[in-house]
Amino acid sequence: MLTKLPRELVRRENELVLLYLDGKSAHSDIALPLVHAVRLLPNTQLYCSDRERFGYVVAYTNGTIFAFAAGMTSMALRLPLSEAGPAIDVGAEPASSAGDEWLTFKLFGASGWDGRLEAWCQIAHKHASLLPS
């Protein structure tokens, strides 16, 4: 069942990432770690574009998307530019198709984000909460 995009997500800060996500799906092996990683963050909401067909999933606060799950291997976070270098140093990769602040985190393979994903989500959440609403 296709779910209507929440009105608060229709804003300039989300335009490029929503264009990138249009028509994409997310494997549950990617969506569930995202849901788990953001579950304790204050004022965080989740949106899934199509629950029956495993649509993409976004996490947002104050109307700004700060994380998404799409595809089969990675989730992405909107990080401040000051955190891009440290994130890349530990295995994240730029996801410039979604916007300049986005980095992908491969959840399988050598990177092994277990135990650290929540910390990166906290950084992305704080960054999104400081952006103008």
DSSP output for 36-65? HHHTTSTT-EEEESBTTTTB-EEEEETTEE
113 pLDDT above the threshold of 80: no
Q: Reply yes or no on whether the pLDDT at 110 is more than 60.
A: no
51-55, 95-99, 125-129: least confident range:
51-55
Please count the other Cβ atoms lying within 10 Å of the Cβ belonging to residue 130.
Answer: 11
Residues 6+ apart with CB under 8 A from 131: 13, 62, 64
Say what the pLDDT of residue 114 is: 59
Q: Where are the domains of the chain?
A: 7-130
Was domain 7-130 assigned CATH 3.90.1150.30? yes
Rounded average pLDDT over 4-33: 93
Q: How confident is the model at residue 108 (pLDDT cuts 50, 70, 90)?
A: confident
Which pair of tokens denotes residue 50? 């199509």
Rounded to two decimals, what is the model's pTM?
A: 0.92
- Where b means 16+ CB within 10 Å and e means fewer, 65-77 reads bbbbbbeeebbbb
Indicate the residue type of 133.
S
